[in-house]
Structure 1
Amino acid sequence: MKVTQEKLPASQIGLEIEITPEKSKQVYEQVVQQFSRSLNIPGFRRGKVPRHILLQRLGQTRLKATALEDLINESLQKALEQENIEAIGNFELRSEFEQLLNQFEPGQPLTFLAAVDVEPEAKLGQYTGLQLKVEDVNYDAEQVDRVLEQYRAEKATLIPAEGRSAQLGDMALLDFQGRFAVAPEGEEPQEIPGGKAEDFQVELQENQFIPGFIAGIIGMNPGETKEIPVDFPEEYGNQELAGESAVFTITLKELKEKELPELDDDFAQEISEFETLAELRESLEKRFKEEQESKITANKEGALLKALEETIEVEIPETMISREVEYLMTQQAMQLSNYGIDIKQFFTKENIPGIRERSRPQAIERIKQSLALVQVAKQESISVEEAEILKEERKVMSQLKDKDVDPDRLREVVEADLLKTKTLKWLEEHSTIELVPEGSLTPIDDEEDDEEDDVETSASDATVSVEAESVVEEG
């Protein structure tokens, strides 16, 4: 079999494959025999159908098309082995199949064109001596106190609030009925669908519900009824209510306050494995400092990867992009699911093409960074020792002891992750990284918003059910 190679753009290799007359006849005869053995024609035993009857029943075109498909698949596989080509993904037939079918005659030579994706060749620019600025992450010493107060709130006992009106932090038991503030001329204001509830318990916290709802309850006394005007936000989940003005008639039935437990050793023992409050504080402080260091490390790694991405020259095959896009979509589905969103409503037949297209830039960015890291490791002879791999495998297996794990895949992932960590460490040691104040490069709020952009944008079309709880909750 004669094979001619051609280098194509986007990390593809074009192949011109010439099939010999003997091979074309052999495969065609095999197809005829297969149909003869499998076809059930009344009056003939299986495998004993005369050739001319078989041709009449199936038609010459169907037999030739089947034989041609087999020829292409078999010849391409042998061509890759013969030429030592490590292809990724499926092949692309560059010749028109219908044209090949018209040309195909068993016992005659046949030539067709195909293309396969291969691992791309990456070329790196200057990757040592990088001058980078990275945001520092401040340690918040008050975080420990806030967490402990949160634990106390979770363990609080509710007791009746006597001799006073409602205030922030109280638990209130309400009856409420909502109606639209504006009614068509000559008609009574319409009730809000689902905007009614009895014995509805709510914690009086700011920014928890529709603006004005909680604020209107503050200062009420048990047994009091009050009308509270509110405006549904323009971006409220239920489009029928978004931007509408409403009035809620609220009756405060009961008012309770939280009695917090003492912050002492007994409390520490109740909520943790520690014997003393001091030990619990020390553990929390250690955890938050480790998180701070992890965030700084992540910032450094992100800056290094971005710098590498800007130096690499590479043509990425479509197969790699498609795989990375599918990975990102899977991650997004898991994230949406964690937010309580039904992914079947989001990943619809109509939405998926657009989601794929929006995921391509991030997929390409990730691939470039990964290829650049691999190239640095090759050029600098950075490798991972067998002992390191085995140690990490044991660590991961201990965490996944109840899971069904593919050992080969685990080894592949562990080795890649260790190599990435080593290479990034090497790059950091051969670069100059300046820590600058937190928020000076990217405002903190914007950064946090970016992390949730995909989820919030993706979920923007989701419909929020109109029940008592969802009506008063802020969309």
Structure 2
Amino acid sequence: MKNRLLAFFLVTVMAVSMVACGKESAEKAETKTEKTKTDAKPVEYDVDEYVTLGDYKGVEVTLTGTYDFTEEGLDEYVSKTIADASVYVEDTSKTEVEEDSIINVDYVGSQDGVAFDGGSAENQMIDVAGNCAAGGTGGYIDGFTSGLAGHSVGEEVAYEVTFPEQYGNADLAGQTVIFTFQINYVAKAIESKADLTDDIVKENFGSDTVDEYIDSLTEQYKSKLESDYENDVQTSVLNTIINNSKVSKVPEELVQARVDMYLNLLEMQCKQYNTTTKDYLDSMGQDYDEYVENVKSNLNDSLTEELILEAIAKKEGMEVDAEGYEKFIANLVASTGSKDEDAFYEVYTVDNYDGKRYFRQQYLIQKAVQFCVDNAVVTKGEAEEN
């Protein structure tokens, strides 16, 4: 099932951007460039001139996911959650390090007999075969774990390792050092409920007993099923409504206003790191003009879908209700660290598109989404096999 970029596409992108900037971003709204302070004519359009609505009330959709609670499904969820946690404990049945062992070690890196900064650690769980932290994906420097297989628990092992020429620390780049390992124990992964004990749960999963932990996972699983169902209903209904409707085009001035809003926020974020958007993109090997065109294309797609929902809101006579909108905007303001609502709006304001207008419009679009979902006819079909 295709997931569309719907009404909250830009809100989400911008909120993430603003969280990265923190509270300082809202304060910097007062020092925005003159570009955003002009008296440009606000973007105006009649959505009915661009949108031809198809059926949007009572649309029929069939879901093929798994949404009903079963013990089998719970067992799979529990096992996956436990395995994904990458918890390892001592395996007392093994005393020798093998090529594919997970082991717990302390290590010290030294050069000319002197330990160097950042080269020592204790109680580290490492994957010998993967040359990485157990359960991780980022690797150590080449050869870091190569001399451990064949040694025993309790043994101290030392051997040379050479840092790559392009290593980030210039003092160590290309240098050969000695890493000395103390092998504490061979470990095993906790992969299922059967591997759990109260002590393991208490130390690694935040519960006092195995039963308490499984009870919490059961509730999580039920919530996941409900969330999956709600999300899939919304996606299916919106896909159907959007496919039923037509948008002749998106007003160019609306697209440009959203592009300006996006780029303004991105520029604000870059300033926090003493750079510009263009310089940042250059450093990432991206062409600025090409990047802007991609942003414009993505926003045009998103706006196509927003216009359909905006037309539905208009046809149904939906309005911004004070109580609902207050909760909606308060959550956004709090999540971005803005000092108050006005400062929050100002950050999102550009030449001809006001931040407050933008978020009020998004609120109406969300109401339209919920209206369509509430009026849909949903059928559960046979779940697709993985």
- The residue matched to 1:171 in structure 2 has which SS? strand
Q: Could you tell me how far 1:369 is from its partner in structure 2?
A: 1.0
Q: Which residue among 138, 160, 164 is the counterpart of 2:96?
A: 164
Mark the CA change 1:136 to 1:153 in structure 2 (over 3 Å): closer, same or farther. same
* Residues 1:406 and 2:321 aligned together: no
Q: Could you tell me how far 1:358 is from its partner in structure 2?
A: 1.4
Mark the CA change 1:210 to 1:152 in structure 2 (over 3 Å): closer, same or farther. closer
Q: Which residue among 273, 278, 281 is the counterpart of 1:347?
A: 281
Q: Which whole-Å CA distance do the structure 2 matches of 1:331 and 1:401 have between them?
A: 12
* Larger of the two Rg values belongs to structure: 1
* Residues 1:123 and 2:47 aligned together: no
Task: Report matched runs for 1:218-237 at 5 Å.
Answer: 219-221=149-151, 222-223=155-156
Task: Report matched runs for 1:110-259 at 5 Å.
Answer: 118=45, 120=47, 121-128=49-56, 130=59, 132=61, 136=65, 141-144=75-78, 147=81, 153=87, 163-165=95-97, 167-171=101-105, 173=107, 199=120, 203-205=125-127, 206=130, 207-209=137-139, 216-217=146-147, 219-221=149-151, 222-223=155-156, 253-257=181-185
Greater relative contact order (Cα < 8 A, sep 6+)? 2
Match of 2:306 in 1: 370
Mark the CA change 1:434 to 1:336 in structure 2 (over 3 Å): closer, same or farther. farther
Q: Could you tell me how far 1:355 is from its partner in structure 2?
A: 0.8
Q: Could you tell me how far 1:353 is from its partner in structure 2?
A: 1.2
Deviation per CA, 1:49-88: give whole Å up to 9, x if none.
xxxxxxxxxxxxxxxxxxxxxxxx99xx9xxxxxxxxx53
Conserved? CA contact 2:242–2:305, under 8 Å? yes
Mark the CA change 1:354 to 1:271 in structure 2 (over 3 Å): closer, same or farther. same
Mark the CA change 1:254 to 1:145 in structure 2 (over 3 Å): closer, same or farther. same
Q: Could you tell me how far 1:122 is from its partner in structure 2?
A: 2.7
Q: Which whole-Å CA distance do the structure 2 matches of 1:162 and 1:269 have between them?
A: 22
Match of 1:316 in 2: 250
Q: Which whole-Å CA distance do the structure 2 matches of 1:400 and 1:354 have between them?
A: 31
Match of 1:425 in 2: 370
Q: Could you tell me how far 1:414 is from its partner in structure 2?
A: 6.9
Normalising by structure 1, report the TM-score.
0.45
Compare 352-361 and 199-208 and name the one that shifted more: 199-208
Conserved? CA contact 2:59–2:241, under 8 Å? no
Q: Could you tell me how far 1:352 is from its partner in structure 2?
A: 2.1
Conserved? CA contact 2:103–2:126, under 8 Å? yes
**What amino acid maps onto 2:304 in structure 1?**
K
**What amino acid maps onto 2:42 in structure 1?**
I
Q: Could you tell me how far 1:277 is from its partner in structure 2?
A: 4.9
Q: Which whole-Å CA distance do the structure 2 matches of 1:299 and 1:335 have between them?
A: 33
- The residue matched to 1:220 in structure 2 has which SS? coil
Q: Which whole-Å CA distance do the structure 2 matches of 1:411 and 1:385 have between them?
A: 14
Mark the CA change 1:164 to 1:276 in structure 2 (over 3 Å): closer, same or farther. closer
Q: Which residue among 206, 210, 216 is the counterpart of 1:283?
A: 216
Q: Could you tell me how far 1:265 is from its partner in structure 2?
A: 7.9
Q: Which whole-Å CA distance do the structure 1 matches of 2:200 and 2:121 have between them?
A: 34
Q: Which whole-Å CA distance do the structure 1 matches of 2:381 and 2:330 have between them?
A: 32
Structure 2's unaligned 5+ residue stretches are 1-37, 68-72, 112-117, 131-136, 168-175, 346-354
Q: Aligned residues: percent identity?
A: 11
Mark the CA change 1:132 to 1:401 in structure 2 (over 3 Å): closer, same or farther. closer
Structure 1's unaligned 5+ residue stretches are 1-72, 78-86, 90-116, 178-196, 239-247, 441-475
**What amino acid maps onto 1:165 in structure 2?**
V
Deviation per CA, 1:222-242: give whole Å up to 9, x if none.
4557799xxx9xxxx99xxxx
Q: Could you tell me how far 1:376 is from its partner in structure 2?
A: 1.2
Alignment root-mean-square deviation, CA: 5.7
Q: Which whole-Å CA distance do the structure 1 matches of 2:63 and 2:263 have between them?
A: 29
Mark the CA change 1:439 to 1:420 in structure 2 (over 3 Å): closer, same or farther. farther
Task: Report matched runs for 1:269-308 at 5 Å.
Answer: 272=206, 277-308=210-241
Mark the CA change 1:335 to 1:356 in structure 2 (over 3 Å): closer, same or farther. same
Q: Could you tell me how far 1:367 is from its partner in structure 2?
A: 0.5
**What amino acid maps onto 2:97 in structure 1?**
S
Task: Report matched runs for 1:461-472 at 5 Å.
Answer: none
Deviation per CA, 1:411-440: give whole Å up to 9, x if none.
867755554344223323335566564688
Q: Could you tell me how far 1:387 is from its partner in structure 2?
A: 4.1
